[in-house]
Amino acid sequence: MITISGIGKTVGATPLLSNVSMEFPAGKILGVIGPSGNGKTTLLLCISGLLPFDRGSITIGVTSITAEESSLRSEKIWQFRRQSGIVFQHLHLFPHLTVLGNITEAPVHVSGKPKAVAEKEALALLEKLGIGQHRNKYPEELSGGEQQRVAILRAIAMNPEVLLLDEPTSALDPIRSGDVRNLLQDFAATGHTVVIVSHSVRFLRGFADYLAFMGKSELIEMNRTQQLLENPQDERTREFLHHSEMN
Amino acid sequence: MLLALQSLAAYGSPTLRWGADPSGGAPYVYADPANPQTYTGFDYEFAEALARQMRMNAEFVPTDWESIVASLNRREFDVIINGFEPTEDRAREMLFSKPYYLFRLQLTVRKDNNLISSLQDCKTSGKSVGTLVNCAASRLLENGGYIVKGYQDPVGAYQDLELGRVDAVLMDVAAEMFYARRNPSLKPAGKPFHTGAYVVGIRKSDSLLASRINTAIDSLADNGTTERIFRKWQLWDDEQLKLRTKGAETYDMTSRTFNWTEGLIKLLKAAAVTVFLAFGAMIIAVILGIPLALGQSKGGRITRTLCTVYIEFFRGTPVLVQLLFLYFGLPVVGITLPGWLTAIVGLGLNYAAYESQVYRTAFQAVPERQWQVAYSLGMRPFKAFRRIIFPQAFRIALPPMTNDFVALFKDTSTAFAIAVWELATAYRELANATQSYLGIGLIVCLYYLAMSLPLAHYAHRLERKLQRKSTGILTSGTEQ
């Protein structure tokens, strides 16, 4: 479960987030939609604990940080960062490690899991996504879609409360995207929260349980996916949905 | 106009261009402390007197002691007047005048040393003896099988004696009087021994000049000029009277025989020292470069400033000066390092500044997102650096690091300035012994190449191996 209460962030005179509050249950998938440059990625980075914010607080499960704590290199922020895993738009796999190395790096060297166990678990997930044969390859030898699956598995391997994905559709490999959807749905079904930032309404329709619409630096509205798509309350949401349907 | 006057003057009375090494050259030829633009010394005064006697103008050409014979034969000057001793090996490639002064050698030790009272004591107890390179004393020691440490000037030799880097110093009495006699921490060991002669060195082709110089030396001895000069410098003794009686002077002549097998083995040993210096210095540079790079790019304001000052200081001053500073300067504050260690530390500190810049660029080339991914996977900064950032940066840094290592390899030659017996020092010494700058030079170059080429080759292979990993040139899997 994620609770965001009144967080704000301003860089110079530009507000990136203004008083954003939302509460979101575990075990569900949340899609965050809205035009580019409206604070979606900023929100994701704040939830991950990687980007300090100026006001408010964020709670994941039983761990929470305030605005003050978000900018300090304290024990608390390291604990908070462990609560979420992030998959960046450009993935940023570790180029010096193999597929297996990317996934098992943190379980082995942070959690202290025996290497053989970590590799066995990673391999099972790779097989499930149909890329087990690539386990000893380096990231640059993989297609974009394959790389994305490795990046997701790398984040999932640490078993975070929350999985955050930034614009995953840009790397999705259409033939295999069903596998990725299943993987994310299975992950959510085991009591985790999945937050997906995307500008593609089509990708989230029938996949995300909830949708949140971000206007300029603020949360305009949030609802169950079907309700938000069929019956948007705000004029700005309606306009955005109208445009994205034409695309 | 000026040019015309000069050539007129040269025509009117010809010039005797004489060469000597003024650095640490007292009391022979050295910069006058009272008036540093001019030179003084007994050889300076003798050269002036000699030229006047020959109705010529004396012109002093400062040169380097170790290669003084080669410079004479390259016609940089016409004669050598520099406490120059006739030796059998030199006799093959030049002419000597008759002696104008008879000198003796003096052994010096530290005040608290009661074990050494003669050269023989050094040999039996295996103690090292320092001396000037390429002189009568060095030939005597080399032929006698002593542990010799060669110096470029007496100052360095006596300083190392004081600091315990060498156990005794053997030098001509003239130099010993000037540099060691008044030093309270040193004392003479035994009486002066070995009678040698100072002569004027002349090119083999200038036999006419040689006979004119001999006539002038006789005249200066007969008319008391020589005595006046050496009395002034407190170097006159009754021994010198023998020079007035023609043919009565007897002196010992040292020689040097060169054995090519022995020479090659000496070069091989020197090459091993060079390798040792290069690897030692590189290890320091590679390790010290990391905190410097991190401090400069990620540290607070004070750390950043300190790192920048360090880096700019070592990059902005010559490594040779830094080595001399460490070797001769640090003992002033009580830190006395042996030469080889000074070379390793000095070159290491210097190259650390360069390596830090290589690292900094390499770290900056790793995207900030890699840090963020590592943090979100639960890594703390140190672990993120060690496991994620460093391996990526290393791959970027490897090619420039290889370049630096090859450069460092060649820079070990600066260690000759602090009397470390590495390949460049060996080259100078052996080439001087044989006067075969070309032959020995080629061999030394081959030694350097034999070391640097494999290095470049292995670095290149490592680079390719690392690159394959990331770019997938090596298509390990064919199932795609």
Searching chain B, which residue's CA lies closest to the CA of residue A143? Answer: B480
Mean predicted lDDT score pLDDT of chain A: 91
Q: Where in chain B is the domain with CATH 3.40.190.10?
A: 12-101+197-243, 102-196
Q: Do B376 and A50 touch (CB under 8 A)?
A: yes
The SS3 of residue B251 is coil
CATH architecture of B102-196: 3-Layer(aba) Sandwich (3.40)
Taking CB atoms and an 8 Å cut-off, how many pairs form between chains A and B? Answer: 79
The reply to whether B283 touches chain A by the CB within 8 Å rule is no
Residue A46: per-residue pLDDT: 95
What is the per-residue pLDDT across A138-189, written as a single tens digit (0 to 9) for each? 999 998 889 999 999 999 999 999 999 998 887 766 656 788 888 999 999 9
Asked whether residue A181 is domain-assigned, the answer is no
Distance from CA of A229 to the nearest CA of B (A): 33
CATH at A12: 3.40.50.300
Backbone angles phi, psi at B111, to 5 degrees: -50, -40
Q: Is the pLDDT of residue B371 over 70?
A: yes
Q: How far is CA A37 from CA A54, A101, A228, A244, in A?
A: 19, 34, 21, 16
Nearest CB partner across the interface for A106, out of B369, B379, B480 = B379
Residue B470: per-residue pLDDT: 54
Q: Do B377 and A110 touch (CB under 8 A)?
A: yes
Tell me the pLDDT band of B43, cut-offs 50, 70 and 90. Answer: very high
Tell me the pLDDT band of B478, cut-offs 50, 70 and 90. Answer: very low
The reply to whether A76 touches chain B by the CB within 8 Å rule is no
Searching chain B, which residue's CA lies closest to the CA of residue A160? Answer: B377
Distance from CA of A45 to the nearest CA of B (A): 10
Q: Is the pLDDT of residue B246 over 70?
A: no
* Token pair belonging to B268: 């091989």
Q: Do A96 and B395 touch (CB under 8 A)?
A: yes
Nearest CB partner across the interface for B376, out of A48, A94, A95 = A48
The SS3 of residue B131 is strand
User: What residues of chain A lie within 8 A of the CB of B480, using their CB?
Assistant: 141
CA angle A82/A86/A87 to nearest 5° reads 155
Average pLDDT over residues B12-39: 88
User: What residues of chain A lie within 8 A of the CB of B373, using their CB?
Assistant: 86, 88, 92, 94, 154
> Rounded CA gap, A136 and A133, in Å?
8
Q: Is the pLDDT of residue B19 over 60?
A: yes
- Fold exhibited by the domain B260-471: MetI-like fold (1.10.3720)
Domain B12-101+197-243 -> CATH class: alpha beta
Q: Which of B20, B1, B4, B24 is nearest to B12 (CA)?
A: B4
Task: Calculate what percentage of chain A has a pLDDT beyond 70.
Answer: 97
Contacts 24+ apart (CB under 8 A), B29-33: B29/B60, B29/B82
> Rounded CA gap, A169 and B356, in Å?
40
Q: Where in chain B is the domain with CATH 1.10.3720.10?
A: 260-471
Domain that holds residue A215: 1-83+195-247
Q: Is the pLDDT of residue B3 over 60?
A: no
Mean predicted lDDT score pLDDT of chain B: 87
Average pLDDT over residues A115-139: 93
In sequence order, the 6+-apart residues with CB closer than 8 A to the CB of B84 are B68, B198, B199, B200, B201
Searching chain A, which residue's CA lies closest to the CA of residue B391? Answer: A96
Q: Do A154 and B479 touch (CB under 8 A)?
A: no
Least confident of B23-32, B252-261, B403-412, B469-478: B469-478
> Rounded CA gap, A2 and A56, in Å?
14
Residue B8: per-residue pLDDT: 46
The SS3 of residue B107 is strand
Largest CA distance in chain B: 102
Query: Does the interface ipTM go beyond 0.90?
Result: yes
Searching chain B, which residue's CA lies closest to the CA of residue A81? Answer: B376
Residue pair B411/B319 in contact by the 8 Å Cβ criterion? yes
Q: Do A78 and B380 touch (CB under 8 A)?
A: yes
Asked whether residue A20 is domain-assigned, the answer is yes
> Rounded CA gap, A91 and A88, in Å?
5
Asked whether residue A10 is domain-assigned, the answer is yes
In sequence order, the 6+-apart residues with CB closer than 8 A to the CB of B227 are B221, B236, B240
What is the per-residue pLDDT across A77-108, written as a single tens digit (0 to 9) for each? 999 999 999 999 999 999 999 999 999 999 99
Distance from CA of B466 to the nearest CA of A (A): 8
Q: How long, in residues, is chain A? A: 247
Q: Is the pLDDT of residue B7 over 70?
A: no
What is the per-residue pLDDT across B447-477, written as a single tens digit (0 to 9) for each? 889 888 888 888 888 888 877 665 443 333 3
B-facing residues of A in 105-134 (CB < 8 A) are 105-106, 109-111, 133-134
Task: Calculate what percentage of chain B has a pLDDT beyond 70.
Answer: 93
Residue pair B327/B361 in contact by the 8 Å Cβ criterion? no
- Buried/exposed code over A36-54 (b: 16+ C-beta within 10 A; e: otherwise): eebbbbbbbbbbbbbbbbb
Residue pair B48/B90 in contact by the 8 Å Cβ criterion? no
Residue pair B44/B29 in contact by the 8 Å Cβ criterion? yes
Tell me the β-bridge partners of B17: B59
Starting at the edge strand found earlier in the chain, the sheet holding A55-60 runs A14-24, A2-11, A55-60, A63-66
Nearest CB partner across the interface for A133, out of B377, B475, B479 = B479
What is the per-residue pLDDT across B282-307, written as a single tens digit (0 to 9) for each? 999 999 998 999 898 888 899 999 99
What is the per-residue pLDDT across B73-112, written as a single tens digit (0 to 9) for each? 889 999 999 999 998 888 888 999 999 999 999 999 999 9
> Rounded CA gap, B107 and B118, in Å?
7
Residue pair A198/A189 in contact by the 8 Å Cβ criterion? no
Average pLDDT over residues B258-263: 78
Task: Calculate what percentage of chain B has a pLDDT beyond 90.
Answer: 51
Searching chain B, which residue's CA lies closest to the CA of residue A159? Answer: B377
User: What residues of chain A lie within 8 A of the CB of B475, using their CB?
Assistant: 141
Nearest CB partner across the interface for A96, out of B367, B470, B477 = B470
* Token pair belonging to B34: 């009272």
Average pLDDT over residues A31-59: 92
Residue B469: per-residue pLDDT: 60
Pairing of strands B79-84, B186-203: antiparallel
Average pLDDT over residues B314-331: 90
The angle, 0 to 180 degrees and rounded to 10, between the axes of the packed helices A75-82 and B368-376 is: 80
How crowded is residue B75: how many other Cβ atoms within 10 Å of its Cβ?
Answer: 9
> Rounded CA gap, B384 and B294, in Å?
14
Distance from CA of B377 to the nearest CA of A (A): 6
Residue whose token pair is 């003239």? B174
Q: Is the pLDDT of residue B432 over 80?
A: no
Tell me the β-bridge partners of B94: B203
Higher pLDDT, B469 or A56: A56
User: What residues of chain A lie within 8 A of the CB of B369, using their CB?
Assistant: 88, 90, 92
User: What residues of chain A lie within 8 A of the CB of B378, using their CB?
Assistant: 78, 81-82, 106, 110-111, 158
Asked whether residue A55 is domain-assigned, the answer is yes
Asked whether residue A227 is domain-assigned, the answer is yes
- Buried/exposed code over B365-403 (b: 16+ C-beta within 10 A; e: otherwise): ebeeebbbbbbbbbbeeebbbebbbbbbbebbbbebbbe
Tell me the pLDDT band of A194, cut-offs 50, 70 and 90. Answer: very high
A-facing residues of B in 377-406 (CB < 8 A) are 377-380, 383, 387-388, 391-392, 395
What is the per-residue pLDDT across B173-182, written as a single tens digit (0 to 9) for each? 999 999 999 8
Q: Is the pLDDT of residue B6 over 80?
A: no
Starting at the edge strand found earlier in the chain, the sheet holding A210-214 runs A84-87, A162-166, A193-197, A29-33, A210-214, A219-224
Domain total in chain A: 1
Residue B252: per-residue pLDDT: 79
